Amino acid sequence: MLVATDLTAAGLRPLVADVDGIVIRGRGRITGALLERAPRLRVVGRHGVGLDNVDVEACTRRGIWVVYTPLAAVEAVAEHAVGLLLAVARHLASGDRAVRAGEFDAARAGLVGRNLHGQTLGIIGLGRIGERVAEICRAAFAMPVVFCDLEPREDAAARLDARRLPLAELLAASDIVSVHVPLTPQTRHLIDAAALARMRPGAILVNTARGGVIDEVALVAALRAGRLAAGLDVFDHEPLPADHPLAALPNVVLSPHRASHTEEALLAMGMVVEDVLRVLRGDLPRYPANRPQTEVSR
């Protein structure tokens, strides 16, 4: 077994020539160029849910399985999204900093939060995580739910008494918007300047999906204007530089891409090795993200 310490392309290339399987987390990339250096590779295991750092199409063409853990982090990420929402609405991070700085009375008087009860929640992407966020917010805060999704999600919508809306209408109707779509060419900068302008004044935007779904330049401008607030676990470029404009804004709570980092979720994501071993034994995986062409032709 080899453990990569350098996750750049240059660091990975020398390690893959003789490997049959790769397990990768959020850093590093499995590209077509890297696959050309791995003639024996039969399976890539993604420790997590997002597949934007794996060239799934290239793997499929080369007969390589891609397996992942779509169920492992649902609860962890959903709870983190709700935690960010609470932190933004009640100024928890600002209050913590103020108390530590000896500004107790000033913060107590100046940091006035808002109730979440009865606020309208807009979910962009009503998949497993988006649905769980909606369940928590509806049960805990009696929040009406609207959602935008390519699929009608009729069963989930019925359970949540949720309305499906086009994105523009969802943004205009929601007090809180929580993003839960994968990063694809179609979703990159889905939330751009025009989308942000449609949001209600004072709305809260939460992103625990992928940073590239939001145009960060446009978001910084909206935050500087005081039009909205945000809770972000993911960013277009990670790690977020210390001098990034987001880091200087008081109306955003930042989290270092750790929504899935609970003991339970990390253990469950680590079980991707079970599917890797299934493939190497010649068995079908439980959670495939593709169907390699060599398998399709059988």
Helices (H), the chain: 9-12, 32-36, 56-61, 74-89, 92-100, 104-110, 128-141, 154-160, 167-173, 193-198, 216-224, 263-270, 272-281, 293-296
Q: Is 210 a catalytic residue?
A: yes
Kindly name the residue from 57, 238, 264, 295 that is annotated as catalytic. 238
Catalytic residue among 80, 210, 216, 278: 210
pLDDT at 9: 84
Please say if 257 is a catalytic residue. yes
- Specify the fold of 9-72+262-296: Rossmann fold (3.40.50)
pLDDT digit string (tens) for 66-108? 999 999 999 999 999 999 999 999 999 999 999 999 999 999 9
Please pick, among 91, 132, 153, 257, the residue that the annotation labels catalytic.
257
pTM of the full structure: 0.93
Sign of CA dihedral 150, 151, 153, 154: positive
pLDDT of residue 6: 83
Q: In the prediction, which pLDDT does 297 show?
A: 42
Cβ-proximal residues to 205 (8 Å cutoff; 6+ apart), any chain: 176, 177, 179, 191, 196, 199, 214, 219, 228, 229, 230, 231
Catalytic site residue 169?
A: no
User: For the ranges 9-23, 156-170, 256-270, which has the lowest average pLDDT?
Assistant: 9-23
Domain ranges of the chain: 9-72+262-296, 74-254
What residue type is assigned to position 295 of the chain?
E
pLDDT band at 294 (very low <50, low <70, confident <90, very high): low
Give the SS3 label for residue 149. coil
Residues 6 or more apart whose Cβ sits within 8 Å of residue 201? 227, 228
- pLDDT, tens only, 25-38: 988 899 999 999 99
Q: How far is CA 284 from CA 58, 133, 277, in A?
A: 19, 32, 10
Please state which CATH number belongs to domain 74-254.
3.40.50.720
How confident is the model over 50-59, as pLDDT tens digits?
A: 999 999 999 9
